[in-house]
């Protein structure tokens, strides 16, 4: 777009059926072309009253010409209601309408935050990278703690495989907030052996060996 404002408004959603929902979408945004680059504005707003009032969740001038996942917890901004709406806006500056803006949104979802986590450690700085720590204790009987870190909120899956490669447990499978997380894995009923813990997120795969010793 050039010299104007484009809005994309969603229908009304009932988010009262969720306990603690997040919204996730992928965005493509660039404003670094045209006569006055870097001026265009990308904004995202949400409403709990059908659009009568709005709360900003995103507003930026920063270009990012790639598909970037964005995740926001609804309760951090508005109350849950049956009139929830989201509005995406891409515009030139209201002062100087000479920048060229390109924007797109894809794969918009409303998801429940994964509640299988037993602990979330909040630090001032978010983790710099995806990480799967060695479980502790290891060897263990019957339970152990698995800790992992996400640099940003994302879909994540933790799978436990037997020594023969059979899937025996999926303790995490869904949207997970950014930060360091921990959970307890109970191997009661499983035979001794070397098991594999696998973390999948953002197209990356990390594994650790876990030893059940009885």
CATH code, domain carrying 44: 2.60.120.200
Handedness of CA 152, 121, 160, 209 (dihedral sign): positive
The CATH code of the domain that includes 206 is 2.60.40.1930
Last residue of a domain, one of 112, 138, 155: 112
Same domain, 102 and 13: yes
Could you tell me if 141 and 108 lie in one domain? no
Domain housing 105: 5-112
104 and 124 share one domain: no
Tens of pLDDT, residues 37-58: 666 788 899 999 999 999 998 8
156 and 177 fall within a common domain: yes
pLDDT exceeds cutoff 70 at 123: no
Angle at 142 between CA 136 and CA 148, to 5 degrees: 35
Q: What pLDDT sits at residue 161?
A: 95
Are 106 and 151 contained in the same domain? no
More confident residue, 24 or 79: 79
Last residue of a domain, one of 112, 143, 164: 112
pLDDT tens by residue, 65-94: 677 777 788 988 999 999 999 999 887 655
121-142 per-residue burial string, b: 16 or more CB within 10 A, e: under 16: eeeeeebeebebbebeebebee
**At 79, is the secondary structure helix, strand, or coil?**
coil
Residues 102 and 26 in one domain: yes
Looking at 61, 91, 112, the residue that finishes a domain is 112
- Whether 58 contacts 43, CB under 8 Å: yes
Q: What is the mean pLDDT of the chain?
A: 83
**Residue 168 pLDDT:** 95
pTM of the model: 0.53
Indicate whether 134 and 196 sit together in one domain: yes
60 shares a domain with 45: yes
């Amino acid at each position: 777009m050039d010299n104007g404002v484009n809005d994309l408004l969603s229908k009304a959603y009932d988010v009262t059926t969720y306990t603690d929902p997040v919204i996730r979408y992928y965005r493509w945004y660039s404003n670094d072309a045209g006569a006055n680059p870097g001026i265009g504005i990308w904004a995202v707003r949400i409403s709990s009253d059908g659009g009568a009032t709005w709360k900003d969740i995103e507003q930026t001038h920063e270009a990012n010409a790639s598909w970037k996942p964005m995740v926001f917890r609804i309760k951090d901004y508005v109350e849950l209601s049956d009139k929830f709406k989201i509005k995406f806006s891409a515009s030139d500056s209201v002062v100087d309408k000479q920048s060229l803006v390109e924007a797109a949104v894809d794969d918009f979802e409303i998801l429940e935050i994964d509640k299988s986590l037993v602990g979330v450690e909040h630090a001032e700085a978010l983790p710099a990278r995806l990480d799967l720590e060695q479980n502790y204790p290891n060897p263990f009987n019957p339970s152990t703690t698995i800790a992992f870190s996400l640099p940003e909120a994302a879909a994540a899956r933790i799978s436990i495989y037997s020594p023969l490669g059979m899937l025996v447990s999926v303790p995490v499978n869904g949207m997970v907030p950014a930060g360091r997380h921990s959970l307890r894995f109970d191997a009661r009923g499983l035979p001794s052996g070397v098991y594999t813990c696998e973390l999948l997120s953002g197209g990356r795969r990390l594994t650790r060996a876990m030893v059940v010793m009885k």
